[in-house]
Amino acid sequence: MDTCPVVIIPGISRLKLFTADETGNRIKSAWPPELDEKSVMNEIKSSLMKMMIFRKDGGFSDKIAEIISGIAEPLSVNSDGSKKYNVQPVFYNKSLAECSEEEKNEIYKDFPLKEHGETIGEENIFYFTYDPFGDIFDIAEKFDEFISFVKSKTGKDKINVIAVSVGGAVLKAYLHKYGEKNDTGKIVNIVSALGGISLIADLFEDKLNLDDPVKLLSGLGGKAASLSSAIAMFPPEVIASTIKKSLDVIKSKLIFNCTFMWALIPCNRFDGIYNNLKDCTDSVLKEKITALRECSSGLAEAVKNREFYILCGYGSELIPIASRSGISSDGIIDISSSSLGAVCADINSKPDISECVFPDTTWFFKNQGHVSASCNDDLISLAVKIMTGDIENVYSDPSYPQLKY
């Protein structure tokens, strides 16, 4: 059995960030955003009432944008791509075996490997965390240092990697800068943003479809769905103004100057976005963005001689804010991106596996949602079997057809 240590690179929804002082002591949580609903209601109460009574904005959209700005402020990025504040991830500089029960539960909640702990060995499982609103090449450097730490700790020459969602961007940047070190063994991608995310490009280009925010919120479920019925009573022009101002805040504070977000732009849209923004981009940031383009376009070359595996979902439309409809995806990432090349004629068709860069080591799961993928028993079980060298049995096991349709 393959006993190489496994390093997991989680997606953005699984990360926890905090602001810290100069000595690294935690000040407050920065991500996921903490929202005091009672305080928010007190802040907007006056402008909300005026808006509802007079059916005019009356400063309501400005107040919402101000609240969004306050929430986003701890994560702000400077014009040169550096962080405005000292933001740190909750970091695990140890194996899973050395974590407290509380820490283990947090990691297993994010990535349910608990039943596979004995197979891999908790002493061989490591969890790499990072700031997804930071500098992608700084993160790649930290990942390289983390790999060196894991190799030293376990006495192994190589490590295996599981990259989930935007963890694929970390993987790309790492391979671009440090791939020649040949420190990785098997690399398994689970719904990874290998070819970028068209929704991020839509955000950069102001192409998000926000014509029906009520329908959008309703479709997201949870608190967003309950909010949709209240928003439906707002004047349409107020809704539009509130969304625009809020997005402008998010883009200016977290998106436009963040190299991690630039790393998520698909190659075929990268140049157009850069050309539109280059005149208002800091010179230091321009250099980083130029390097990112090379990083993204060179991925297939960087991994062609590696043990590279891809597990992705298809058969779902992108969420309603996407500029294009009918694109086969896992709801967040286009199938052509997460699979490195597969195409579908339409949302209901099968992917063409032959178009993939790695047709023999790519698996497709129909209607597998992006967020739920890292908790899907079939995907996790398949990833573990690949990691532990049980790959031949995987190919012959009818439980793991490469195309689930």
Total count of domains within the chain: 1
Nearest to 288 by CA among 333, 256, 266: 256
pLDDT in tens, 175-198: 999 999 999 999 999 999 999 999
Ramachandran assignment for 251, one of left (phi > 0), alpha (psi -120 to 50 degrees), beta (any other): alpha
pLDDT value at position 222?
61
Spatial separation of the C-alpha atoms in residues 402 and 44, rounded to whole Å: 51
- pLDDT (average), residues 3-23: 93
- pLDDT (average), residues 226-245: 85
Spatial separation of the C-alpha atoms in residues 27 and 66, rounded to whole Å: 22
Q: By the 8 A CB rule, do 199 and 322 touch?
A: yes
Task: Identify the band that residue 308 occupies on the pLDDT scale cut at 50, 70 and 90.
Answer: very high
pLDDT in tens, 369-394: 999 998 999 999 999 999 988 888 89
pLDDT value at position 295?
84
pLDDT in tens, 326-373: 889 999 999 999 999 998 888 989 999 999 999 999 999 999 999 999
Q: By the 8 A CB rule, do 179 and 302 touch?
A: yes
Is 245 contained in some domain? no
Is 352 contained in some domain? yes
Tokens 């977290």 locate to 254
CA gyration radius for the chain?
22
Spatial separation of the C-alpha atoms in residues 113 and 99, rounded to whole Å: 14
**DSSP one-letter code for 254:** I
Structure tokens at 257: 């100057």
Structural domain that includes position 322: 6-14+90-198+298-404
Is 281 contained in some domain? no
Nearest to 165 by CA among 145, 149, 188: 188
Least confident residue range of 204-208, 267-271, 281-285, 308-312: 281-285
pLDDT in tens, 196-226: 999 999 999 999 988 877 766 665 556 666 6
pLDDT value at position 304?
79
On the question of pLDDT at 161 being above 70, the answer is: yes
Is 74 contained in some domain? no
Is 103 contained in some domain? yes
Is 365 contained in some domain? yes
On the question of pLDDT at 324 being above 90, the answer is: no
Average pLDDT, the chain: 91
pLDDT value at position 282?
87
On the question of pLDDT at 273 being above 80, the answer is: yes
Torsion of CA 289, 294, 297, 300, to 10 degrees: -130
Is 243 contained in some domain? no
Is 372 contained in some domain? yes
pLDDT in tens, 18-30: 999 988 889 999 9
- pLDDT (average), residues 97-111: 93
Helix, strand, coil fractions of the chain, as percent rounded to 5: 50, 15, 35
Q: By the 8 A CB rule, do 116 and 380 touch?
A: yes
What is the CATH classification number for the domain harbouring 384?
3.40.50.1820
Spatial separation of the C-alpha atoms in residues 384 and 188, rounded to whole Å: 9
Pure H helices in 182-322: 198-204, 213-220, 222-231, 236-250, 259-262, 267-277, 283-297, 299-303
